[in-house]
Amino acid sequence: MKRTMARGWIVAVLLAACVPSLALAQGAPAGEFDKAYGAFAAAAAAKDYAGALAALRRLVTAFGSQSPLLLGNVRFVKGASNSYGLFEPRGRDAFADGEAIYLYAEPAGYTFKKSPAGHYEFGFKADFQVAEEGGKVLGGQNGFAVLPFRSWNPNSEVAITFTYTFSGLAKGRYKIKTQVADMNSAKKAACEKWFTVQ
């Protein structure tokens, strides 16, 4: 038991020593990230859980300003009405010609802008291409989706669902490449998903 506790303290000390220096090593501005990290560590050590939670939220926002745009949990789902973590996965990647394809993703690392009214504004623009299995691009559209968000909180758990409907594709395997751009910065991220037309 004592050995396990000692290992836990060593890990905690190593994390406390490494996380702020990691931000500095990657050339990110230390200010907000380090302040939020320090506030979180101090509040957690004092068992001030409300203060720790508030600092953790500031830490996530600071992380987003330093991180590239990320797209996580990219998958086909059964419908367009989804929320973060609340979706019904589609078990197959096979679709009939003209059937709607719903692609779910969870972006992270986006940038917030504060409105004069006090809202946190953020959002995404998306382009797509569809290609044959051999790589030949069949078509696509720039700016096919514009997804603005406005909230009183800097939401870190956001989901986006794209709807694609392709008609006239021959039976076979195809790839959708979706590029998502952060509306408040130059950050971009792309994902690719293969699907089959039956």
Question: Does the structure show a pLDDT above 80 at 183?
Answer: yes
Q: Is the pLDDT of residue 29 over 80?
A: no
pLDDT in the model for residue 15: 32
Q: 108 pLDDT exceeds 50?
A: yes
Q: What angle do CA 58, 20, 5 make, to 5 degrees?
A: 95
Place of tokens 């836990």: 8
pLDDT tens across 118-161, in order? 999 999 999 999 999 999 999 999 999 999 999 999 898 999 99
pLDDT of residue 10: 26
